[in-house]
Chain A
Amino acid sequence: MSIVTNKLGALALLLGATLALVQPAQAIPAFARKYGLPCSACHEAWPKLNSFGQTFKDEGYQLNNDRDAPFYQNPAYWPVAMRITPHWHFEGNSRVASDVVPGDGTSGQQQSTINASGFDLPGIDILTGGTLAKNISFLLVPSIESDSGTISFESAWVRLDRLHGSPWLNFKFGKFELDLPISEKRIMTLSNNGGFYQLYHFLPPGDVTPTSMGDNQLGAELLGHSADDHTRYALSLLSSSDGELGLPGGRSYDGYFHLSQAFLLPHLGLQRVGAYGYVGLAPTFLLTSDGVPIPGSGRGNRSFYRAGAYASFYLGRFDFTGLVQRASDNVFLANATAANQTLPDGAQSPVWNTGTLEAHYTYSPQLVFIGRYELVRMTRQALATNPGDFANLDAFTLGYRYYPFMHSRAGLAWHQEVATVRSKLTSLNGQDQRSTSVFMGFDFAF
């Protein structure tokens, strides 16, 4: 099965197209309304959670003050919130492969700079969540894509909380965001280049491994935490479909774990260190009928992994997270080759390291500055003939969010951001490519 052809420009496409779909979700004024809390009670700066918000989430969207069960609510209360971000953005992409004669695919290719700008909308998320009963929580997030109008399910899960009365045992089932070291659904930056984590999405050019840890996954999760939420763990068993419905691949599963420990440093606040790992299996080809792939008939499973460790530190109003990850994909997945076919010469399974440093300066709950630097360094290329630094990547994002008011009915932020990504030697002529976004807009939820 040839899923994507191994093209050098694939990276630029990957950044431009698929990531426009990456959409932050969680910021749920329905909870604020239910409990009468201002956004700032749960969010260090919306959508990033503080320790109170994290505990609330870990308790299954419950405060445990016995007002959690839905019948404490006015019957007119409906746990629904919506979030959208009308914005203006600029996207600049250098050395994009384009036909010499537009419209004529046989005219040969050249490198072009493509700059676009204008007013835009992302998709819209309809966030519904809360409790079905005391200690049974749920989240359902239908989202409407802005371009196609299609509706998809960003999240849909039920969680049984406090099994045997213990915070250590909770069971989640459905489609959900993994308990990631840094939440991508609660990312503080929104642009095409800055609105996602390279660490979750990066694949070497030509690699077709169907995974990005940042996307919501289908599966079941056992998770828990100590009474003070300082020790947290999550163990997930997932369909290896990267959250796609309808069992497209077959019957392989992925596994994920995350363990973290927080400790309180006097005068500094809560610091957290953690480690995680993701191991997956993905089919490299499908059986076909008359040449047409038969859905769900995935064969030739090959594996991949991601493993990392991180630390989050608070220093007064400043917090930063540093994260290192090692990743590798099987040689067949990395070279888009079916496991029953011959590999190209020099094919090997690629290995790469990523580093992420994210810093926030929360001047007040109404003004936050965000800086992030991510790098990807290949340590082994998918093809031995590739230069050693091929597809190495540096991504930098700077932005701020200003919240003109803070109450418990709605949230509004003015958001400005610049993000730029450089990938080494990936252009048609083997030169570096750069992709830059400038983004400003109103992010609101109610």
Chain B
Amino acid sequence: MRIRPQILYCSILLISLATGVASAQNAGASSGYPVAQGKLTEPEHRGKGLYRRYCVGCHGVRGDGNGENAPYLDPKPRDFTQATFKCRSTASGSLPLDSDLYATITRGIHASGMPSWNPLPSRDRSDLIAYIKTFSPRFHEEQPGPALPIPAEPPASAESTQRGAAVFQDMNCWSCHGKDGRGNGPSAHTLTDSRGYPITPYDLTTGSRFKCGESDRDLFRDLMTGLDGTPMPSFTDALKPDQLWDVVHYIRSLQTNHGQDGEAAMVGSKTETGK
């Protein structure tokens, strides 16, 4: 009997298609590594496979930030076992909301090696978050606090900027960020993060993107929540919302490039606003 080659070829392809679909369903994984499920939930399990593919080289197999590339990166990749996150909508010391983590991995972290993972399907990003939360028991033991409300932004004005400059002076922002915001304050070179690595205060005059988003609301939130794990404190108790908006306007006045930067139109950055 002679089988026509086309038929043979197509059946081989179809068989591999069938096995492909079947085992994809078994593993519930698309482009991640096939990993043992253990006690993981389905999203965590999928997330683990994806984490192995995308994140492990920096954040490490154990999520402790000691991936093979960690020695070459500054700032260091986050140690997820500590569950300390810079970009949150929640109060200082609180866990972040899932939506905070989602926004961060979508946007990437400016001025660091952490890329934007916006190209990954949204489900993959959610599953990754489910998995990185398994590295710390805190996510089982505690609930993240509520998102701190961000009041409507009053219009920017010369007066508001001036008041912001005064606050910058009074609150000693300059001791770290420098008189003109260039990140060269008197104590700048002594600062370390919570893992003991030297850290530089943000140069407020560069670009228009911050680690935790680019919009005025993002900036407001940074000042409100602080960046946990870094010397950058929360000012929510010390300053009233109006004062925080004044500081935001003052910081914008330092950014000579603000608004001209093509990157400001960047992909994921927009997702962060309004949280």
Contacts and interface: CB of A to CB of B under 8 A. Distances in A.
Interface residues of A, number: 55
Contacts of A270: 121
A314 interface: yes
Nearest to A373: B9
A54 B68 contact: no
A40 interface: yes
A266 B122 CA distance: 9
A40 B23 contact: no
B21 interface: yes
B118 A228 contact: yes
A55 B27 CA distance: 27
A41 B9 contact: no
Interface stretch (B29-37, B180-188, B215-223): B29-37
B6 interface: yes
Contacts of A266: 123
A52 B120 contact: yes
Given A41-B54, A408-B68, A362 B123 contact: no
B5 A165 contact: no
A36 B73 contact: yes
Interface stretch (A60-68, A80-88, A147-155): A60-68
B33 to A, nearest CB: 5
Contact of A315 (B21, B114, B266): B21
A166 B262 CA distance: 7
Contact of B34 (A67, A162, A364): A364
A357 B13 CA distance: 9
Interface in A375-396: 375, 394, 396
A265 B113 CA distance: 30
A363 interface: yes
A269 B27 contact: no
A229 B119 contact: yes
Nearest to A53: B119
A52 B53 CA distance: 12
A7 interface: no
B31 A317 contact: yes
Nearest to B12: A371
Interface string B163-204: 000000000000000000000000000000000000000000
A357 B11 CA distance: 12
A365 B262 CA distance: 34
Chain A binding surface SS class: mixed
A50 interface: yes
A79 to B, nearest CB: 16
Contacts of A318: 16-17, 20-21, 24
Interface in B33-57: 33-34, 52-54, 56-57
B108 to A, nearest CB: 5
A314 B265 contact: no
A175 interface: no
Interface centre among B12, B19, B53, B68 (most CB of A within 10 A): B53
Contacts of B115: 35, 37, 63, 65
A166 B84 CA distance: 35
Nearest to B112: A65
A371 B9 CA distance: 9
B69 interface: yes
Interface string B207-243: 1010000000000000000000000000000000000
A268 B31 CA distance: 10
Contacts of A363: 23, 34
Nearest to A367: B34
A317 B24 contact: yes
8 contacts: A36-B72, A37-B115, A65-B109, A65-B112, A165-B263, A316-B30, A359-B16, A362-B31
Given A52-B117, A65-B112, 5 more contacts: A35-B115, A36-B57, A316-B20, A317-B29, A361-B19
Which 5 pairs between the two chains have the least Cβ-Cβ distance? A316-B24, A318-B20, A165-B262, A36-B69, A55-B119
